[in-house]
Amino acid sequence: MAKRGVILMNLGSPDSTSVKDLRKYLNEFLMDERVIDKPLWLRTLLVRGIIVPFRAPKSAEAYKTIWWKEGSPLVVLTEQLKKAVQSKMSETVEVAMRYGNPNPTQAYENLLKQNPDLEEVVLVPLYPHYAMSSYETAVEYMKEVYAKKKYTFALKSVPPFYNHPAYINALAENMRPYLQEDFDQLLFSYHGIPERHVQKTDPTGKHCLQVENCCFKSCEAHKTCYRHQVTMTSELVAKKLGLKKDKWQQSYQSRLGRDPWLQPNTQVRLPQLPKEGVKKLMIVCPSFVSDCLETLEEIAIRGKEDYLKSGGEKYTYIPCMNTSELWVDTVVQLINEVA
């Protein structure tokens, strides 16, 4: 019996598209202090008093446009990834979501049920890039539950893999067939985060967004810098695909609230691009390894409408890696590299 167990962790979805389930999900998600990093009283007022009451009905409608009969695409695709990874390893593999279900306690308990002599759990946060609102909260929450339950097995985490050759290769090969078609520009659209979060995760306190061209100047801050990491992903994938610098650009999507977020914003760029002569656009979302609301609704549906309405002629959304063979092999490799 393998002494190791594996937990694949993603963000999570509401249990259904009802406004009630949306309220529950958004409250849990946005009350996370690593997502809305305001003092508790202000966060409570903002989230419970303003954001959730207004957002829940709108989000419910958005989820309805992409929901599958098996459930949320993000959850279904993560379960499919689990099965594919499981078929390539002897260790038991479970799924945990940071918000909603299946929750971390269920995942740990399932592993223990399968193997009461469990010695080690390898956590795979399904985020290529470090952000306090994604990778960090996933790992810290799993550690919190682990400590509360007083588990005796060891807990190890796969680090952000934004520049790992296997991830870059899997992503590039997932994109390559789409790029055989004629296109003017490829847009790498990453989930955005507030600029303040980039500065908060800078351990030097003086590099990120403070030094000119900070993402390209060697610094220990890059270990936890979201902007550096996504930029390196774009650079490495473009290089692997032989794309010249004038053939691609980068932007940030899914902005929430009024604080300054990383720029440029995808929703702003899409209607501008046709006016700049970009009539045929390819768009890919490498911060997501599985398709979800933010790719299927925001980019593949809404983004396409905005772009075509503004004079764009052809818009191709490149799906996430989901269960592509190279990606499944990459996950197995990442797990085995955690010594």
Ligand X SMILES: C=CC1=C(C)c2cc3[nH]c(cc4nc(cc5[nH]c(cc1n2)c(C)c5CCC(=O)O)C(CCC(=O)O)=C4C)c(C)c3C=C
Point out the annotated binding site.
191, 294
Query: Of 191-199, 201-209, 233-241, 312-320, which segment contacts ligand X by CB under 6 A?
Result: 191-199
Q: What is the 3-state secondary structure (H, E, C) of the chain?
A: CCCEEEEEEECCCCCCCCHHHHHHHHHHHHCCCCCCCCCHHHHHHHHHHHHHHHHHHHHHHHHHHHCECCECHHHHHHHHHHHHHHCCCCCEEEEEECCCCCCHHHHHHHHHHHCCCCCEEEEEECCCCCCHHHHHHHHHHHHHHHHHHCCCCEEEECCCCCCCHHHHHHHHHHHCCHHHCCCCEEEEEEECCEHHHHHHCCCCCCCCCCCCCHHHCCCHHHHHCHHHHHHHHHHHHHHHCCCCHHHEEEEEECCCCCCCECCCEHHHHHHHHHHHCCCEEEEECCCCCCCCHHHHCHHHHHHHHHHHHCCCCEEEEECCCCCCHHHHHHHHHHHHHCC
Cα–Cα distance measured from residue 192 to residue 206, given in angstroms and rounded to the nearest whole number: 21
* Cβ atoms 120, 156 nearer than 8 A: yes
Structure tokens at 310: 């503004």
Cα(134)–Cα(128) distance, rounded to whole angstroms? 10
Q: Which of 6, 52, 74, 96 binds ligand X (CB under 6 A)?
A: 74
CB nearer to Fe ion: give 22 or 214.
214
Q: How far is the CB of 63 from ligand X (least distance, A)?
A: 7
What residue 35 binds from Fe ion, ligand X, none (CB within 5 to 8 A, per partner kind)?
Answer: ligand X
Q: Output the smallest distance, CB 238 to ligand X, in A.
A: 20
Select 111 or 131, whichever has its Cβ closest to ligand X.
131
Residue 171 interaction partner, one of Fe ion, ligand X, none, beta carbon < 5-8 Å per kind: none
Question: Per CB under 6 A, does 124 bind ligand X?
Answer: no
Q: Which stretch binds ligand X (CB under 6 A): 149-157, 186-194, 213-221, 266-274?
A: 186-194
Closest CB to ligand X among 94 and 291?
Answer: 291
194 binds, among ligand X, Fe ion, none (CB under 5 to 8 A by kind): ligand X
Judged by CB under 6 A, the chain residues 258 through 287 that form the site for ligand X are 287
Q: Which is nearer to Fe ion, 74 or 118 (CB)?
A: 74
Q: Could you tell me which residues are annotated as the binding site for Fe(2+)?
A: 191, 294
By CB under 6 A, residue 201 contacts ligand X: no
**By the rule CB under 5 A, 208 interacts with Fe ion:** yes
Stretch near ligand X under the rule CB under 6 A, chosen from 127-135, 240-248, 300-308, 331-339: 127-135
Q: For the window 291-310, what string marks contact with ligand X as x by the rule CB under 6 A?
A: -xxx----------------
Q: Using CB under 5 A as the criterion, what x/- string covers residues 214-253 for binding Fe ion?
A: x----------x--x-------------------------
- How distant, in Å, are the alpha carbons of 31, 54, 142, 314 from that of 99? 11, 20, 12, 36
Shortest Cβ distance from residue 190 to ligand X (Å)? Answer: 8
Of the pair 74, 122, the CB lying nearest ligand X is at 74
Nearer to ligand X, 88 or 223 (CB): 223
Residue 171: partners with Cβ closer than 8 Å, 6 or more residues away = 233, 237, 286, 321, 327
Site string for ligand X, 218-257 (x = CB under 6 A): ------------------------------------x-x-
**Contacts to Fe ion by CB under 5 A:** 208, 214, 225, 228
**Contacts to ligand X by CB under 6 A:** 11, 13, 26, 35, 55, 59, 72, 74, 127, 131, 133-134, 191, 193-194, 254, 256, 287-288, 292-294
